[in-house]
Every structure is written in C-alpha cells, then in structure tokens.
Structure 1
Amino acid sequence: MSVGMAAPRAPYACDPDRSRGRLFAEPPSRTRSPFRRDCDRVIHSNAFRRLKHKTQVFVFHEGDHYRTRLTHSLEVAQIARALARQLGLDEDLTEALALAHDLGHPPFGHAGERALDACLKAHGGFDHNAQSLRVVTALEHRYPSFDGLNLTWEMLEGIVKHNGPLTARDGTAIGRYVERGVPVGISDFVQAFDLELSTFASLEAQAAAIADDIAYDAHDIDDGLRAGLFAVDDLKVMPAAERMIAAIDGNYPGLDGDRRGAEFVRELISYLIGAVAAETRRQLSLVRPQSVEEVRNAGQQLMLFPPDVAETEAGIKAFLKAHMYRHERVMSIMKDAEQIIFDLFARYERSPADMPDEWREGTEQTAGAARARRIGNFIAGMTDRFALMEHQRLFDSTPDLR
C-alpha cells in the first residue's frame, strides 16, 4: 500500500452500517453514513463555533496566531484521521470524536476548568468529559424533536470513554473517578442509554484521544516558541528533540528561527504518529481482535506510544509544564482568569436575575445542586470574550488578562 493511501476497513473498526443507533430514532440519511452525519452535526453546533474564542493556553487577544480550542480541535482531527487512515478505521467517526472532544471545556483553558470545579465541589465538581456529553445530549437546542444532537451510541461512547473505562464490571468507579465517583452527568445519562462504562472505547475513540496528546505536544511547543517563552535550542535537553534538531540543522544549515521551529514541530508530529501506528499494529497482532466488541473487551488500550516514545512524550509534557504552563507570565494571567470565574459563579448564585432570560428561567425557583449545575452549564458555555464582557457588566473592575 502506498504512503497516504487509506487501508481497507479493518474487522475491528466501527461499521456505520452496524451502529447501535441513536437515543431518539430517526430515518437514515440518503446521502451520509450515521458517523458522517454525527460529524456534520458537531461542526454545525453552537458549542463547536464557540471554541474559536476559548483559550488553549494564551487568551484570545494575546495574538491571532496562537491556538484556540477550535484550532486545537481541527489539528486533533487531522492527526486522528491520519491514524485512522493507516489502521483501517472509520475516518468519519474518528474525525467526529476528535472535533467533539473539547465541547465541554469552559473559558480560559485549564484555569477555567479548575475554577469551575472548585465552584461545584459541593455538587460533584466539574468534569469536561461529562460536560461534553451534556452539551451533545441536552444543551444544544437545534432540533424540533429532541434536545442535544442525538448522536450515535458510538459517538457518545467515545466522548465518555476515550481515555478508558470509568468503572469496573461491578459498577465501582475506577481511575480518576475513584475519589468522587462517576460524574452525575454521565451516571444519570447511562440509565437511559447504557454506554457500558466498564469497557474500553473503540479504536476510533482511542485514536482521537492519543491525537489530542500529539497535538498538545506539538502546537504548545509551536506557541511557546512564538511567545518567546523558550527557544528551539532549549528543547535539546530532551534527547529525541536534540536528535531531530541536529538533523534539521544538518539538512538546512543557517535556517532562520521561525522556520527551524516549524520544521521541528513538523518532524515531531510525524515521529509521534509513526510511533503510535507501529505500536498499535504490534498490539493488534498480539490481541488479534476480529470485531469492535473484541476491542472493547481487550482489557487494555490498544492504541499506544511504544515505551521509549512514551518516555519521550512524557518528557515533552514535563518540559512544557516547566517552561510554559508554569511560566510566570502564563500563571499570572490564569490566576486572574480563575478569579473571573469565581466572581461570576458567586454573583449568579446570589442573584440569578443577572443571567440572560433563557438561563434565568427556572433558576430563581431552584436552590442547591440544581441551581449550581445550571449556573455551571451557563459559565461552561461562555467564550473567554463573553466571560470578560459579563464580568465588566457586573463588576466595577475586571482584570485585563495581559
């Protein structure tokens, strides 16, 4: 098979003709598969459009060339489709899951998520995967017969389980959910539409998840270089990066800094995609799944970095944490961003009348968890820009976030 040519559909891939269907029955499309239809619904959703003004690391007004949640999602989709194409997976489902994976993120990146989690601590906290599920099953209001987007079972499974099972076979929460339990937004929904929380997700979902890691590593290096938080040569503390940079300098002596950084990012993406594809083929050769059900019950993730590359990838994340995420400039802005979320949540909880009509309706008559969750849903859907505007409207002083 030539490079770039799609592999034939593998027996372990999700087959749109065998989808488990939608919560609300709909007639099939005459022109699109169920998974292509899912992807189109995500692209046309309000939540997806709002991602263009949601922070990845840098707040929107810091520069036009930094990633946002929207551009990040597009890059994840490109990487995920590259993996799907090589491994014979359903590309439409893979793309749809990649595009939908961040729909539940609040404004101001991880700072906004931390703040909203603290605000909702007494009511189960905030989980962006649960919020993504809530967006596509309840909060989007675009169809006459149902709330949400009425996505296929395979899409919803992938949104919830792309990082692995949430429970053991007996229903006990595992992994990151041991302490708090399965988030309410997920545990409630699966009573109506069982997403089988104790099994692994499809390889399409696993592709979207690992593509998220690859995209983060690559574009955060790109953005960090652009912002001047570190230089290309600073990356040489990582052996794999040092080898790549040496090869670039050998092939392109005297290359200017911008092109040198861009070439490194390009080489890194290719290196990580190739490593994942090779390791996944190795895992598949050991497990030999003959259906997507065998993938779900394999007892492990099958799409992985090989051990040496996993070590390299962990080193990249550690480098970025030290030189970017914990950089004094970034930390200062994110601290102010967290305070904006705290202020807005407290204000709406105290005075629901300050929210727009469609969100205020019913909130004034509720209290406790119901009110807090509704306020959390409202804030989670905000863009950075709207959150700043709301804060300016309701408070005498608003941080500049610069």
Structure 2
Amino acid sequence: MTWPQLLSTRRYPDRPAEVPMPGRSPYLADYDRVVFSSAFRRLQRKTQVMPLPETDFVHTRLTHSLETACVGRSLGRLSARRVLENDPEIARALPDFAEDCGDIVAAACLAHDIGNPPFGHSGEDAISAYFASRAAERFTTGLSAAELADLLHFEGNAAGFRILTHTYPALSSGSAGLGLTYATLGAFTKYPRPSVINPEKKQNGASEKKYGYFQAESQRFRLVADELNLLPKDVAAGFYHRHPLAFLVEAADDICYRIIDFEDGLKLGLIDHERGLALLRELRATAPSVSPARPKSSSSGGLQWRAWQEELGYLRATLIGQLVDETAGRFAQHVPAILAGTYDAPLVKELHGYAHLQEIQRLSIERLYRSRPVLEIEAAGFEVLGGLLDAFLCAIFDKQVNHRSRKLLDLLPPQFRAIGPQAGASAYEQILLLTDYVAGLTDQHALSLYKTIKGIELPRGL
C-alpha cells in the first residue's frame, strides 16, 4: 500500500479529490461533519461504563469519543513525524503528512463508537441474542447465511460504517451518508471484513476478531478498498488488510478506555483507590527514566498531593502522554510491514507497560463492568431491546396489519420503514432498517419507548 493512495481526499462515493483550503484540510472537515451529525449527538446519552448514570462525572460514549479523538490526533501526528524520520521522501509527495494523519485519525476516532447501540456492548449482545431466539425465527427464515450472520452477531462497528455511508431514500435522493473522505472511512474500519468469511481460513489477526460492515454495505466497502488500494486477503469474500491508520485509531481507543474507564471506577468507589493508584504508578515507572509518581513530604521538594484524586488526575494525564509517545515509536517501527500487509497486531501489546494495562483491564472488568448496578441494568437492557425488536417486527411482518400493528408502525419514523422510495425492500433490508432504529436509540429513549409500548408507563404530558 502507498501513502498517497491511503490519504485519498476524494469524498465517498463519487466526489473528486478536494484541494485543501489553507488551514483546513478535507479530513478536518470530516471531523466537523461527524460532530454535527445527529448520530454523534445521541452518544451523549449512551453508555460508556455505567448505564443510565446518576452522576454527570461518569463518561458517556460522547465524552469517551471526544477524548479518544484528542488522543488520536496527537498519536496520528507524532506517529507520522516518526515515519518521516525514517522515510523523509514521503514529505515530497505529501508535504502536510503529519498534520493530515493527525486529522484523519482524530476524525475516525471521533466516529469510532457512532454505531454502538444502547446499554454499551451488552446492547450488541442483546440484539444478537434476540435474533438467535426462537421468537425471531419466523422473521429470519429465508435469509442467506451471510445476512443471518449480520443479525446473529450484531456489530456496532458495522452499524457505524452504515451510518457513515448510508442515506435513507425516504429522506434524500443522495447516497453519501456523511460524505466523508475515503481516507477517514478506511481509518475508521478497524475490521475490514464481512460477518462471514471462509471458515477454513485461519483467523488470528487484530483486524479479524470482529467484522466491519453488513452485507447491505458490501459494495460500499469495496469502493473504499479499491480507492485506497487496500491489500486483499480474500477478494471474493470482501476481506482486506487494514488501512495503516486504523492501527492508531485502535490504539487511541485502547489507551483511553483502559486509563479513563479505570479512573471512573476509582472515583465511583468501585475500585480501591490505593490499589488503583499503586498500579498506575507502576505503569508510569515502565517509561524510560521515569520513577513512580508518589506524594512526597514538602521537605523533599517533590510532588505533594492534597487528595488522592489530585494524584489520579496527574497520573492519568502523564500516562496518556507516555503511552502515546511509545505507541508512535512502535507504529513507525512497523510501518513497512503494515504497508506490506504482514503485520496485524494491536500496537499496545508491544508497550513496556502492557502487563500493567492488562491488570488495569482485569480490575475494570471485575470491579466496574461486572459490578451489580451495571449487571442489573444490562440484564434489563436485554428485555428492553429484545422487546422492542419483537414488537416492531411483529408489526412490520403482520400481513393483516391489525390495529395494534398499525399503531406501532406509526411510531416508526418513515426512514425506518419499507414505504415510499424504500417500498419493496427485502425481508433482510426491512429487519436492518429496524435495527438501525433500535440501535440508534439512546439508553433513556429505549427504556421509555419500551415502557410506553408495553403499557407500563404512559408518556408525560398526556
């Protein structure tokens, strides 16, 4: 793969390459387009760590995405500068290489969770579990194996690619989604493969553990892969090697959710702060020439903390900088192999402090993600999302269109129904339209809609 093609400024699907405006690259415009999208705005009320949080401190998908984008911009620019040190010839063809890489990674990071359903990753499990249940069999009979796999293993990354590239005919005559550059779409796609690939092919790379697009978007992703000249793994199956900058998007997300989710757990009191701070100090000490940051007496002239939260903030900030610096070096080291398609591993696995990052993740899973309040709400989420899917699918496929079905269908916005320009949609497309709607709901909206259609609670104001 080559950098001039990988940094394509063409906008999906058929806009010509853009001439950058002074001080505003096409990739920076991508960032702005994501910010102003309604799907991004809904992330403010979607779960990152704690579903339906009662405190404003806890991160939501929105704040996590914004922080990941900040880390991604720094990581992208620093990594590109390290690449230029090894290959200064790149600057002749791409004079703004470092700034452009930073802007692309930032835009892709900003959008990386845009397709996640309500209730965090358990929302993906809830949708998948419903389509694996006997209640869904009557709706999925007749789907192809690939179409069924999209539903049985619902994936927020694929839903995100659909949001970025799909425009509903009921709303517009266009078909560009957010109209992002091919470079940003490539960097966004951490898993450049469909839900079903050759079962005989061994899968063990970082880009293979999930899938990145639904069958409905298979031709769209091929456009992206062809424009960027991504190396194929299996052309017939639509399976490709990653865009190099996708490794940085993945790394920025890994750094943020490990460090910042852990910080949430400490501040919520779910993880013992003394144990947590000790672990963060040990991670800080893995950097060359850095000793653990500890409160010291004023007579020593060292750092002195008024409260443990103050030290926590210092450690979080310095650790992110430390991990970004080391990750950038690892990326530059592996760029030749990445471009040749012979490297496919998470960059964070090669960091000096990876064992500490794994312990941080283990503690977060044990004390935070599996805490009783989280488990209770996530269990309720299975009922909520499964209940919404079942109720609306019964209405969509009700050939008699009884009174109840008619009322439910009237609650669905027109872009999520097979009417008007979308009339004649296949069963798979109709199901996908509904999953678009349900996955796009915020936690609170999903809960209130479920209560309403089940008659548990009437909307306020009636």
TM range (shorter): 0.7 to 0.9
2:18 aligns to what SS in structure 1? coil
1:351 aligns to what SS in structure 2? helix
How far apart, CA to CA, are the structure 2 residues paired with 1:18 and 1:202? 12
How does 1:42-61 map onto structure 2 within 5 Å? Answer: 42-61=34-53
How far apart, CA to CA, are the structure 1 residues paired with 2:425 and 2:173? 27
**Deviations 1:334-374 (CA, angstroms, capped at 9, x unpaired):** 11122211111111111244132414531797674333212
How far apart, CA to CA, are the structure 2 residues paired with 1:81 and 1:27? 22
Q: Which residue of 2 aligns with 1:8?
A: none
Deviates more, 1:42-51 or 1:19-28: 19-28
Give the one of 198, 208, 215 matched to 1:184. 215
Distance 1:184 1:171, change over 3 A: farther
How far apart, CA to CA, are the structure 2 residues paired with 1:308 and 1:30? 39
Distance 1:139 1:257, change over 3 A: farther
What is the total number of aligned residue pairs between the two structures? 379
**Deviations 1:155-197 (CA, angstroms, capped at 9, x unpaired):** 222222x257779999968458689997424434335554545
1:218 paired with 2:276, answer no
How far apart, CA to CA, are the structure 2 residues paired with 1:46 and 1:173? 39
2:375 aligns to what SS in structure 1? helix
1:22 paired with 2:12, answer yes
Q: Which residue of 1 aligns with 2:303?
A: 252
Q: Which residue of 1 aligns with 2:450?
A: 391
Alpha-carbon RMSD across the aligned residues, in angstroms, is 3.6
AA of the residue aligned to 1:240: E
How far apart, CA to CA, are the structure 2 residues paired with 1:266 and 1:178? 30
How far apart, CA to CA, are the structure 1 residues paired with 2:114 and 2:272? 32
Deviates more, 1:61-70 or 1:267-276: 267-276
AA of the residue aligned to 1:51: L
How far apart, CA to CA, are the structure 1 residues paired with 2:258 and 2:428? 37
Contact 1:165–1:201 under 8 Å retained in 2: no
How far apart, CA to CA, are the structure 2 residues paired with 1:118 and 1:67? 26
AA of the residue aligned to 1:155: T
1:97 paired with 2:153, answer no
Give the one of 132, 137, 144 matched to 2:165. 137
Displacement of 1:61 after TM fit? 4.2
1:299 paired with 2:289, answer no
Q: Which residue of 2 aligns with 1:157?
A: 186
How far apart, CA to CA, are the structure 2 residues paired with 1:181 and 1:241? 32
Displacement of 1:14 after TM fit? 5.7
Contact 1:349–1:372 under 8 Å retained in 2: yes
How far apart, CA to CA, are the structure 1 residues paired with 2:7 and 2:326? 31
How far apart, CA to CA, are the structure 2 residues paired with 1:283 and 1:179? 22
1:106 aligns to what SS in structure 2? coil
Distance 1:360 1:87, change over 3 A: closer
Q: Which residue of 2 aligns with 1:240?
A: 282
Displacement of 1:101 after TM fit? 0.8
How does 1:1-400 map onto structure 2 within 5 Å? Answer: 18-19=8-9, 21-25=11-15, 28=18, 31=21, 32-88=24-80, 89=98, 90-121=101-132, 123-124=148-149, 125=151, 126-139=154-167, 145-160=174-189, 162-163=190-191, 174-175=203-204, 183-191=214-222, 193-194=224-225, 196=230, 198=233, 199-235=240-276, 236=278, 240-241=282-283, 246-250=292-296, 251-253=302-304, 255-284=306-335, 287=336, 295-301=338-344, 304-305=347-348, 306=350, 308-352=352-396, 353=406, 354=408, 355-359=411-415, 361-362=417-418, 368-397=427-456
How far apart, CA to CA, are the structure 2 residues paired with 1:307 and 1:277? 10
2:353 aligns to what SS in structure 1? helix
**Deviations 1:193-250 (CA, angstroms, capped at 9, x unpaired):** 5454534333332211100000001110111112110122122368824959952323
Query: Which protein has the larger Cα radius of gyration, Structure 1 or Structure 2?
Result: 2
Distance 1:378 1:312, change over 3 A: same
Q: Which residue of 2 aligns with 1:7?
A: none
**Deviations 1:262-282 (CA, angstroms, capped at 9, x unpaired):** 223223322322221232233
TM-score, with structure 1 as normaliser:
0.81
Contact 1:56–1:68 under 8 Å retained in 2: yes
How far apart, CA to CA, are the structure 2 residues paired with 1:302 and 1:180? 16
Displacement of 1:54 after TM fit? 1.0
Displacement of 1:301 after TM fit? 4.0
Contact 1:59–1:108 under 8 Å retained in 2: yes
**Deviations 1:323-344 (CA, angstroms, capped at 9, x unpaired):** 1111122111211122211111
Deviates more, 1:182-191 or 1:304-313: 182-191
AA of the residue aligned to 1:264: L
Deviates more, 1:237-246 or 1:187-196: 237-246
AA of the residue aligned to 1:28: E
Displacement of 1:44 after TM fit? 1.6
Distance 1:17 1:155, change over 3 A: closer
How far apart, CA to CA, are the structure 1 residues paired with 2:165 and 2:121? 23
Q: Runs of 5+ in structure 2 lacking a partner?
A: 81-97, 133-139, 141-147, 234-239, 297-301, 397-405, 458-462
Contact 1:13–1:203 under 8 Å retained in 2: no
AA of the residue aligned to 2:180: L
